[in-house]
Structure 1
Amino acid sequence: MSWKQTELNSSTKTNTSPQYSYFDFVQKPIEIYVFIDPLCPECWSLEPYLKKLSIEYGRFFTIRPILSSYANPLNKDHFQQPKKLKEIWERTAKRTGMSCDGDLWLENPISSPRIAAIAIKAAELQGKKAGRVFLRKVQESLFLKKQNISDERVLIDCAREARLDIHEFRNDLHSTSARKALQCDIKLTNEMEVDYIPTMVFFNQRIDEQGIKVSGLYPYEIYVRVLNEILQKRPIPSEKPPLEDFVAFYHVVATKEIAVVYDWSLAKAEREMKKLQLKQIVNKIPVKHGTFWRFIK
């Protein structure tokens, strides 16, 4: 498996036929490696696009998160410049609409990011879906609640919210298996020469060809264009679910995520969520930037 970093332009040719075979539903042809750092606000800002891509074209691909903390320029500061980190977080939140409260670095700084990374790999031992749900809970605890995700008690709370087997998670958290899984992610990051996060690498598992590497945060249309090129066709996007079903599935969502997924303005997304709030379907979560909502179970 190899990769290439391509420059996409308007001359990119794809088959415009919307047809796809039965096997697209049986075995997903595309695998997307998403290189992230759970502490990275840019990676957090990728969430709206990943959600939309999964809803519209998820029948064609699986997502594999790869933890690449050392590739994050923020980590090269060794957490010795909390004011600088606070400023970076605040700027990112204002620019992207995905709240991340930079006061964390002054009030409750992260002491050991490696512990959080090992915890995510421990969660993945209970299944890929379990790992992804746990990762999201860790990000919510960090960016919205200003919690120290290197604290084992915080990680256990995240595991409960992700509905993991807590006994199994506690054991895996201190296991060789979780540490080895993290080392595999680091090795893969090196092999693919990922030096910036977030980075996404698209592979077609059925065709022996190079993957496409996209480093940084881009508009949604760029990711769709890459997917079209790797599929060699332009499939019709799946219909979006009713808003209430979307919120019920993800439990905690940002107004920005809703706006991106449904192609709405932030103002319209806010209005629609307030309607659900009046119906007592969601609660509004107080955050420093933007707006988040929690589904009432």
Structure 2
Amino acid sequence: MYENGSSAASMELYVFIDPLCPECWALEPAIKKLKMEYGRYLKLNLVLANNLEPLHSSCGSKHRSLMKEMAQAYNETGCRTGMPCDGDVWYKNPAPAPYDAMAAIKAAGLQGKVIGAKYLRRVREALFLHKENIADQQVLIDCAMRVSGMDVDEFVRDLHSDTTKKALDNDRKTAEEMDIRSTPTIVFFNEDIDEPGLKVEGAYRYEIYEDLLREMSGEKLEKCPPIPLEEFVAFYSLVATKEIAVVYDMKQEEAHREMKKLQLQQKVEEIPTKHGSIWRSVAAMS
């Protein structure tokens, strides 16, 4: 149910994200649910794109204005979507530019898609939840140390390698070829090579993506049943109440109650944030 693109995959999705973009972060619950319910039909390609002006290119009042704008965007996204996202990071530990984080994500991806996906998640947690500067190399290395199975020494060597630079350049070219103007954007392709892809800009509720998937596939898609909630949390190590609510078709209040039950069984621990709780699997910590 977590496999990304089996031999029977009939749909290919290109998901364009910016690691600093709060709307891309808010898309996470829908992506998790697509992978769980329809993963056997999908090949997901995560492509890094950047549309934000680097902070180091601005100064004085413009610099302060940009930081305030980003902080407001983070807090607004957190309030509106329920995905924890703290704008205070832009006052305490602002990332001057996304390049270092993007390079680190591509370097991690050289160790395989699973390692790359888990590393991306740790980087986003560092930014959106822990308010850390993801342009800081030590923060990026610390994220690598929190990924089970990752070779941290190899990752450090790859950070500034030509292979990583080429991978970043390939993402840039892909974004240009598909005329990506904003993030998040998902481009859907089916098996018909003569049919153009369908581009969806912005973050929407899960049902929109599900309907598009079913419509474009041209076949009857069977949903995979959800796995037990405890296994879901253990697989991802750290999840937000909003992600649980979307994946398991619950209201956030119900999702919070279910997680409280697991907390009483000492299977998870709750970490409150400004915009909702996140839950850490005790099994993943041991």
Same fold (TM over 0.5): yes
Q: Which has the higher contact order (CA 8 A, sep 6+)?
A: 1
Query: Hey, what does 1:147 align to over in structure 2?
Result: 132
Within a 5 Å distance, the mapping from 1:45-56 to structure 2 comes to: 45-56=26-37
Question: Identical aligned pairs, as a percentage?
Answer: 50
Note if contact 1:33-1:65 (Cα within 8 Å) is conserved in structure 2. yes
Structure 1 vs Structure 2 CA RMSD:
1.7
Provide the rounded CA distance (Å) in 2 between the counterparts of 1:223 and 1:83: 32
Q: Give how far 1:109 is off.
A: 0.9
Determine whether 1:37 maps to 2:18. Answer: yes
Note if contact 1:29-1:206 (Cα within 8 Å) is conserved in structure 2. no
Q: Give how far 1:25 is off.
A: 5.2
Query: Hey, what does 1:103 align to over in structure 2?
Result: 88
Q: Give how far 1:78 is off.
A: 5.2
Cα deviation per residue 1:102-148 (whole Å; 9 max; x = unaligned)? Answer: 00111111123100000001011111111111101100000000000
Q: Give how far 1:26 is off.
A: 3.1
Note if contact 1:253-1:292 (Cα within 8 Å) is conserved in structure 2. yes
What code does the residue aligned with 1:190 have?
E
Provide the rounded CA distance (Å) in 2 between the counterparts of 1:222 and 1:238: 18
Cα deviation per residue 1:140-195 (whole Å; 9 max; x = unaligned)? Answer: 00000000011111111111112310111001001011111111111111111110
Q: 1:43 to 1:77 in 2, by over 3 A?
A: farther
What code does the residue aligned with 1:252 have?
L
Specify every segment of 5 or more residues in structure 1 that has no aligned partner in the other structure, as ranges.
1-23
Within a 5 Å distance, the mapping from 1:134-173 to structure 2 comes to: 134-163=119-148, 164-173=150-159
Query: Hey, what does 2:258 align to over in structure 1?
Result: 272
Query: Hey, what does 1:27 align to over in structure 2?
Result: 8
- Equivalent position SS for 1:267: helix
Cα deviation per residue 1:83-118 (whole Å; 9 max; x = unaligned)? Answer: 121111101100000111100111111123100000
- Equivalent position SS for 1:62: strand
Determine whether 1:94 maps to 2:79. Answer: yes
Structure 1 length-normalised TM: 0.88
Query: Hey, what does 1:85 align to over in structure 2?
Result: 70
Provide the rounded CA distance (Å) in 2 between the counterparts of 1:206 and 1:76: 43
Q: 1:141 to 1:242 in 2, by over 3 A?
A: same
* Number of equivalent positions: 272
Q: 1:200 to 1:292 in 2, by over 3 A?
A: same
Provide the rounded CA distance (Å) in 2 between the counterparts of 1:37 and 1:84: 16
